[in-house]
């Protein structure tokens, strides 16, 4: 039995909903191994279980504390609010009300916070998702804020770090939430063309439309230990295949084994790994010189293809044969 299956059998896993609910409790049970832990100690340990290394889900603001140099964070793009374009309701539940409740419960405007900050003195652009806001789902506001963070990163040529934590696309915004996948992924292509680094950090849980867009597109993809990461949710898969899922299925370690993430990184090591990565993923002066000198970069692959496509493609000028009908020949 994998740890997430235990969720259903009563060993209550994640502190249900927001961490607020257990704020007053002295003891916390580990979601993964069931160990009873002293809350104060757990906070000191950055919410990492000392016994099994499970990384508890934390709010976006707490995560920013793990990620950035103290006092370096400055929030950007505040004031963007979801519009409920479809006036969506499921029975008596109105999306509009859900949004208001989520804002009140979390103090957030939507499921992602964006901003500027520093990691070991290096300036970065960050976007950190928060599962407590409607399951970290991606609607128009999340998509737009991530898009703007990409824009900031591109404009300042500063590395982008996105911390994902999401159940996927926000159903209540239907097709427009699906389009946020295309929007964010398309803009990341531009960042890639400009050789500005993007590091994606996957935390528990990252599934659905977020995984299938920006979360998997990092130059580096890092994952927290034992996080649930996947495209389809485990329950949907189980219903589809009507069979037991493999041990550890869709955990970070499972993804690592299958070659889908670069590293599983403990919260305590995160800044050290980021520091090394950021040092590496920066164009050195020597490389810049080579690039300006017209040398081919590894990353030029797609662009060579572009040139091949519209300028240099060898056109066959045959009069007959199958190519003879080619209007562009």
Partner 1 sequence: MPGPYLDFEKPLVELESHIEDLRALADGQDLQVRDELRRLESKAEDLRRKVYGNLSRWQRVMLARHPARPYTLDYVERVFTDWTELHGDRLYRDDPAIVGGLARLDGEPVMVIGHQKGRETRDNIARNFGMPHPEGYRKALRLMETAARFGRPIITLVDTPGAYPGVGAEERGQAEAIARNLREMARLPVPVIAVITGEGGSGGALALAVGDRVLMLEHAVYAVISPEGCASILWKDAAKKAEAAEALRLTSEDLARQGVIDRIVSEPLGGAHRNVEAMATELRRVLIEELAALRAQPPGVLVERRLEKYARMGTWREEAAP
Tokens of 261: 């993430």
CB of 91 to partner 1, least distance (A): 6
Given 209, 224, 264, 278, the residue binding partner 1 (CB under 8 A)? 209
- Cβ closer to Zn ion: 35 or 84? 35
Please work out, in degrees rounded to the nearest 5, the angle formed at the alpha carbon of residue 177 by the alpha carbons of 173 and 181: 175
Residue 132 binds partner 1 (CB under 8 A): no
The residue (of 32 and 250) whose beta carbon lies closer to partner 1 is 250
User: What's the gap between Cα 98 and its chain centre?
Assistant: 23
Total residues interacting with partner 1, rule: CB under 8 A: 79
292 binds partner 1 (CB under 8 A): no
Are residues 113 and 130 in contact, defined by beta-carbon separation less than 8 angstroms?
A: yes
Q: Which two tokens stand for residue 267?
A: 């919260």
**Is residue 256 at the binding interface for partner 1, with CB under 8 A as the rule?**
no
The interface with partner 1 within residues 90-109 (CB under 8 A) comprises: 90-91, 93
Binding flags for partner 1, 151-170, as an x/- string (CB under 8 A) = ------------------xx
CA distance 131 to 54: 17
Identify which of residues 289 and 308 has a Cβ nearer to partner 1 in the complex. 308
Q: How far apart are CA 129 and CA 261, in angstroms?
A: 19
8 forms part of the interface with partner 1 (CB under 8 A) = no
Minimum CB distance to Zn ion smaller for 49 or for 215: 49
Q: Is 321 in the site for partner 1 (CB under 8 A)?
A: no
Q: Which residues of 194-203 are buried (b: 16+ CB within 10 A; e: fewer)?
A: ebbbbbbbbb
Binding footprint of Zn ion on the chain (CB under 5 A): 30, 32-33, 35, 49, 51-52, 54
Query: Please, what's the b/e burial string for 72-81 (b: 16 or more CB within 10 A of its CB; e: otherwise)?
Result: bbeebbeebe
């Amino acid at each position: 039995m994998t740890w997430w299956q235990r969720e259903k059998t009563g060993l209550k896993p994640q502190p249900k909903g927001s961490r607020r609910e257990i704020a007053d409790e002295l003891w916390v049970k580990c979601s993964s191994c069931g160990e009873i832990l002293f809350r104060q100690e757990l906070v000191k340990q950055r919410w990492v279980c000392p016994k099994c290394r499970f990384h508890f889900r934390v709010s976006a603001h707490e995560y920013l504390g793990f990620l950035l140099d103290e006092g370096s964070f400055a929030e950007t793009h505040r004031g963007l609010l979801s519009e409920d374009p479809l006036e969506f309701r499921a029975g008596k539940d109105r999306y509009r009300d859900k949004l208001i409740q989520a804002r009140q419960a979390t103090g957030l405007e939507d499921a992602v916070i964006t901003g500027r900050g520093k990691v070991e003195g290096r300036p970065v652009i960050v976007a950190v998702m928060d599962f407590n806001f409607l399951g970290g789902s991606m609607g128009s506001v999340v998509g737009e804020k991530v898009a703007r963070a990409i824009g900031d990163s591109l404009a300042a040529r500063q590395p982008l770090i996105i911390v994902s934590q999401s159940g996927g696309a926000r159903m209540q915004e239907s097709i427009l939430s699906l389009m946020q996948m295309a929007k964010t992924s398309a803009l990341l292509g531009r960042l890639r063309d400009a050789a500005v680094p993007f590091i994606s950090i996957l935390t528990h849980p990252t599934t659905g439309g977020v995984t299938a867009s920006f979360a998997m597109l990092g130059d580096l993809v890092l994952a927290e230990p034992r996080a649930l990461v996947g495209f389809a949710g485990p329950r949907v898969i189980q219903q589809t295949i009507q069979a037991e899922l493999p041990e550890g299925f869709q955990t970070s370690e499972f993804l690592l084994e299958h070659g889908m993430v670069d590293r599983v990184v403990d919260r305590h090591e995160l800044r050290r790994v980021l520091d090394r990565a950021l040092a590496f993923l920066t164009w050195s002066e020597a490389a810049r010189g080579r690039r300006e000198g017209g040398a081919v970069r590894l990353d030029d692959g797609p662009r060579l293809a572009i040139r091949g496509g519209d300028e240099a493609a060898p056109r066959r000028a045959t009069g007959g044969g199958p190519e003879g009908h080619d209007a562009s020949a």
